[in-house]
Chain A
Amino acid sequence: MKDKQFWLVTGIIAFIFLLYWIMGHPYLYEDRIVMLITMFLMGSTLMYNVRYAQMGGEFYLRPIPGLKAVEEAVGRSTEMGRPILYVPGIQDMDQVETVAGVIVLGHVAKMTARYETSLNVPVSRSIVMKAAREACRESYMIEGRPDMFNEDMVHYLTDDQFAYAAGVNGIMVREKPAACMYMGKFYAESLILAETGNSIGAIQIAGTASQAQIPFFVTACDYTLIGEEFFAASAYLSKKPELIGGVRGQDMIKAAVIVTIIFSIIIMTLYDNTGIGFDVSKLLTIR
């Protein structure tokens, strides 16, 4: 309740809409009023949480086991004295997943700087290369090991999907990394990468939201960050208020969705069995 500005603006918008409604609401699709209200509620929930995070508010976010697995993998690579391979997907920075992949890369780079393990990041887009280099450089600086950073740890292979997969496979077979991480947007090459990683006996950790590729990662990798988990992990690591606030806002909406489901089931059951005069399915049908 502390964010006065937020409540003021929300209140004003609600009030104006109320006035408009009372005045006879010209030019409004009345059938879609439920949708309009839903959107308003959801949008303001999101905004509230983003603003809360921006003003320095702290949320609890549950630990994500996959991130812990990353730490173990880095530890094991150090013990074995072998490098770590990090693949940030095959798409450009306009994909949210690539952005998330680069954020997680920053986190991994911090650990490799701490443990003095070598890191190898082949990329398939030149813009991703720039972003990934920046992320690594920053991490090594923060850890106080700029001497360990060299630009070539992030290197461009090729834009083409299968050629890129073949190139990464070559690196895996030659360098035998102890851990392979695949975090970003993947298509069919997911399978080729995970299979080769498996055959060299590396610990494999994957993170992606590409629904069709998740099964291949789950069966071939030791740990997989699934969809939203991946985004939440990156939001958590990036410490950007709009991302963290977004995670929390979406959680609240999710809770509301669950409550709505349960509530609708109860009403539906009553409606069908006892003839209570309210059909919730009509309310939820928006044309």
Chain B
Amino acid sequence: MSKIQDTFLKIGSIDRRWIFLIIAAVVIVPLIFPVGLPIRPTDTTKNVYDSIEKLPAGSKVLLSVEYSPSTRPENHPMTISILRHLFKNNHKVFITCLWPDGQFMAQDAINQVAKQEFNKTYGVDYVFLGFRPGNEAVVKGIVSNLRKLYTVDVYQKKIDEIPLMNGINNFKDFDFLFSSSAGFPGTIEWVQYASDPTGIPMASGVTSIQVNEVMPYVQAGQMVGVLAGMPGAAEYEALINQKGSATSGMDAQSVAHLVIVLFIILGNVSFFIERNRSKKY
């Protein structure tokens, strides 16, 4: 018995670089040799899907892209899937960014989905308004007078010359808002300054870290649903039936989680052995 305990203690004081190596291995191996575990959509994800599905064709949807390359693996698959879903149902998409790097992310998504996959026309099916600094003030600006804030789109083209912008003056002219967000400013600001004061329904895709901060809004009905982190994106990919980078990451994600849980358990076992021993002496 004490031999087993000794082994545990020994593992407990292992150099942490071995742990780093294990984590690197359990993430890389499933990425190269995927298993394809089944994906089961959660309710909050399904709610987002259903509410977009329910929009009448040709609805005007504002898509706000507010994340940077550092959280791209989590947010980008959501943006892609939402764009695919919106274009598949023939909705009109308006893209804004609250983060400067969001522009690049949005441009990538547009290149991939709007241009290559759906062959949509700029200015008729979608508009890319781009980034304005000022955090919550930008949200407030969009709610009160979008045209004052955005006189030109991201390509420096005048808003008045874009046909799709006809009749779009402020936030109330949209039918739905999706915010793909990684922090401040993001979903919370959209709830506070746009959706709550106007009542336009909104959903959001957030990074895992943020989920808990927005959940009360979802539960209270201030948001229709939320996509939570990379697994949320994978669930959405499953719902629209188009697999992407989030789905392919799920095996690695699953294994890594299991390993970390195992670490917690092992660590605590050696903690208890140690505590029992120090009690005895």
Contacts and interface: CB of A to CB of B under 8 A. Distances in A.
Nearest to B197: A287
A211 B214 CA distance: 12
Contacts of B198: 287
Interface string A186-219: 0000000000000000000000000110000000
A287 B209 CA distance: 29
Nearest to A281: B221
Contact of B212 (A211, A286, A287): A211
Interface string A259-287: 00000000000000000000000000011
B199 A211 contact: no
B209 A212 contact: yes
Chain A binding surface, main DSSP class:
loop
Interface in A59-73: none
B38 to A, nearest CB: 29
Interface in A207-249: 211-212
B6 interface: no
A287 B196 CA distance: 6
Contacts of A212: 209
A287 B213 CA distance: 22
Nearest to B213: A211
B82 to A, nearest CB: 25
Contacts of A287: 196-199
A211 B210 CA distance: 10
Contacts of A286: 196-197
Interface in B171-211: 196-199, 209
Nearest to B198: A287
B220 to A, nearest CB: 10
A283 to B, nearest CB: 15
B181 to A, nearest CB: 14
A286 B192 CA distance: 11
Interface in A27-56: none
B240 to A, nearest CB: 30
Contacts of B197: 286-287
A256 to B, nearest CB: 19
Nearest to B210: A212
A112 to B, nearest CB: 28
A166 to B, nearest CB: 14
Contacts of B209: 212
Nearest to A31: B197
Nearest to B221: A281
A287 B194 CA distance: 10
B115 to A, nearest CB: 36
A212 B209 CA distance: 7
A45 B212 CA distance: 30
Interface string B7-48: 000000000000000000000000000000000000000000
Contacts of B213: 211
Contacts of B196: 286-287
Interface in B212-250: 212-213
Interface string B129-172: 00000000000000000000000000000000000000000000
B263 to A, nearest CB: 12
A211 B209 CA distance: 10
B14 to A, nearest CB: 11
A211 B199 CA distance: 28
Contacts of B212: 211
A286 B198 CA distance: 9
A237 to B, nearest CB: 29
Nearest to A219: B264
Interface in A1-42: none
Nearest to B212: A211
A280 to B, nearest CB: 14
A211 B198 CA distance: 29
Contacts of A211: 212-213
A286 B196 CA distance: 7
B187 to A, nearest CB: 14
Given A211-B213, A286-B196, A287-B196, 6 more contacts: A211-B212, A212-B209, A286-B197, A287-B197, A287-B198, A287-B199
9 contacts: A211-B212, A211-B213, A212-B209, A286-B196, A286-B197, A287-B196, A287-B197, A287-B198, A287-B199
Interface of B: 196-199, 209, 212-213
Interface of A: 211-212, 286-287
Which 7 residue pairs of A and B lie closest in terms of their CB atoms, listed nearest first? A212-B209, A287-B197, A287-B199, A211-B213, A287-B198, A211-B212, A286-B197
